[in-house]
Amino acid sequence: MPMPFSVLAETFEKIERVTSRTQMLLYLVELFKKTPPDVVDKVVYFIQGKLWPDWKGLPELGVGEKLLIKAASIALHVPEHELEMLAKKLGDIGRAIEMIKQEKMKKGAAAPGLLAFIKKPGQQSQSTLTVEKVYETLAKIAMAQGEGSREIKLKLLAGLLAEASPKEAKYIARFVEGRLRLGVGDATIMEALAVVYAGSAAMRNVIERAYNLRADLGMIAKILATQGIEALKNVKPEVGIPIRPMLAERLNDPAEILKKLGGRALVEYKYDGERAQIHKKGEKIWIFSRRLENITHMYPDVVQMAREGIKAEEAIVEGEIVAIDPDTGELRPFQVLMRRRRKHDVHVAMEEIPVAVFLFDTVYVNGEDLTVKPLPVRHNMLENIVERSDRWQLAKGIVTSSPEELEKFFLQAIEDGAEGVMAKAMHDKSIYQAGARGWLWIKYKRDYKSEMTDTVDLVVIGAFYGRGRRAGKYGALLMAAYDPDTDTFKSVCKVGSGFTDEDLERLNDMLKPYIRQTKHPRVDSQMKPDVWVEPALVAEIIGAELTLSPIHTCCYGWVKPGAGISIRFPRFIRWRPDKSPEDATTTKELYEMYMRQLKKIEEKA
């Protein structure tokens, strides 16, 4: 049974108006109940505002504002400038198209046809568009590349907009513009899928596990809807599909670290570069970033190293790509590597900023799922399949059960230009926890010379106008931590210092695509900024110490009734474009940091 696109458009409209995540969830459940199993993947992609997962590296739609206006003007039989004016006034092309379509339908006006393939407005009152048809047409628009592609894109898009109802046209236009941001988190989508296809929200963890092993929610939803929850339980990693990375907790006391890990640990340098998940199938290599973007094209040198340096036919290995000084082989800071990302010509960048790769794990080799194996087994396998060279090595590490030795190794790591160390459990249960932050890996980072011993990564949820020298620009940001249980962002602090003049200059452009008139439904904040910002940008923040605050909602009531956790004298350090909002420091982590700080103060007393 084909699924009418109107069902999706109506749900989008409802979701746009929700004020709470619970409501959002209910509408999604309603939607999935109406979705035939074989189109659920497409429905999931539409909700995510994309045609396919980003890591596929497939072309984007490639329709700019101009082309969209032109297509809409053909479809609606209105002059381009009229449409442009209305869009400007409303600040939304999608809404402008909807309004004009509604008007025309009311009048039933039949304007002279500009193109033969387009139905005249007023001829139809009911759209017959299906989810499949819209998806296929949009995919064709994206795939049209090279000479003559503009004409093809224009024709396809005009046809689609002409056939659509006013409401459908609004969402098609927003989708094409890349502005269909419903703000529904993956966790919420998974919960709705669990309710509809597995009978209970509690089954979300089975879906989550499968999604962690294959980061394609559309594909996972389709397996679930067509083959059932049992099939999902058997999902393994697959070469070419990124797996969500395992993450570490943090501590800064060697004895405590060893105790948490069961007394004995593999302790490795924590290199300060870019995490890379490297997949190999024969001669083909893929490199995925921490955020699972396909970054293969940025590192032709690493592709070559992997081709020569992985001795298995099929494998997925993980390591850190670090900028190095070619003369001395010394490690260079993260910022140097980020400069490579900004360069246009990768071959020039490769020459100017050479890199080395330090491998630390493997999760799949020749058909075997290693995520379920303990670390020593994975590490042995890694040693077996990796042929080392100068720039392609295993992370430097020791196995120890002595806090003194751990501390010494940590100091050595700092001296060698690493960020600290990663200590990893080696016991029988030390599996690879894809997509999870747990106590099997613990990071111990260098002290930033303040009471707050570690930085946190927070998400921008609002902005404040500046005063004085900063008048007319944004002067401070409202920052939040991520709460995975409720899939929401909870306010932690307002940060106004640490920005360079250049940072402040760039703020306006950076925030512009994410500014909202109202609070985002996934944001939980009592403090009201001058403008709300959709959770998208992550920044690294340090402060003097963690404090209790009556206004901030992070960990509200956890330590004391009526108080949340905040940061005193917060300072901006740098943007973290390699992190998505869901990768930010979690509320639970902040709580644990606060409790550790409290313990230290009590000990001193």
Q: Which residues contact 330 (CB under 8 A, 6 or more apart)?
A: 324, 416, 417
Buried-state track 502-528, b at ≥16 Cβ within 10 A, e below 16: eebeebeebbeebeeeebbbbbbbebe
Between 277 and 525, whose beta carbon lies closer to ligand ATP? Answer: 277
Q: Do residues 179 and 197 lie in contact, with contact meaning Cβ atoms separated by under 8 Å?
A: no
Residue 137's Cβ-side half-sphere holds a number of Cα atoms within 13 Å equal to: 22
Task: Measure the CA–CA gap between 242 and 313, rounded to whole angstroms.
Answer: 17
588 is catalytic: no
User: 């500014």: which residue's tokens?
Assistant: 515
Query: Closest separation between CB of residue 422 and ligand ATP, Å?
Result: 4
Instruction: Report the sign of the C-alpha dihedral through residues 273, 278, 284, 286, in that order.
Output: negative
User: 């894809």: which residue's tokens?
Assistant: 434
Closest CA to 198 of 175, 232, 166: 232
Q: Contact residues for ligand ATP (CB under 6 A)? A: 245, 247-248, 268-271, 275, 290, 320, 360, 395, 422, 443, 457
Closest CA to 190 of 209, 207, 202: 207
The phi and psi torsions of 115 (rounded to 5 degrees) equal -130, 140
Buried-state track 324-333, b at ≥16 Cβ within 10 A, e below 16: beeeeeebbe
For residue 218, the SS3 value is: helix
Q: Which residues contact 509 (CB under 8 A, 6 or more apart)?
A: none
Task: Measure the CA–CA gap between 61 and 424, rounded to whole angstroms.
Answer: 43
Task: Measure the CA–CA gap between 357 and 391, rounded to whole angstroms.
Answer: 6
For ligand ATP, which residue has the nearest CB? 275
Between 211 and 271, whose beta carbon lies closer to ligand ATP? Answer: 271
Q: Which of 104, 270, 373, 579 is catalytic?
A: 270
CA torsion angle for 469, 470, 472, 477 (degrees, to 10)?
Answer: -170
Residues linked to residue 423 through DSSP beta bridges, in sequence order: 267, 442
Query: Closest separation between CB of residue 602 and ligand ATP, Å?
Result: 27
Pinpoint the alpha helices (H) of 464-564.
501-511
Between 395 and 555, whose beta carbon lies closer to ligand ATP? Answer: 395
Q: Which residues are catalytic?
A: 270
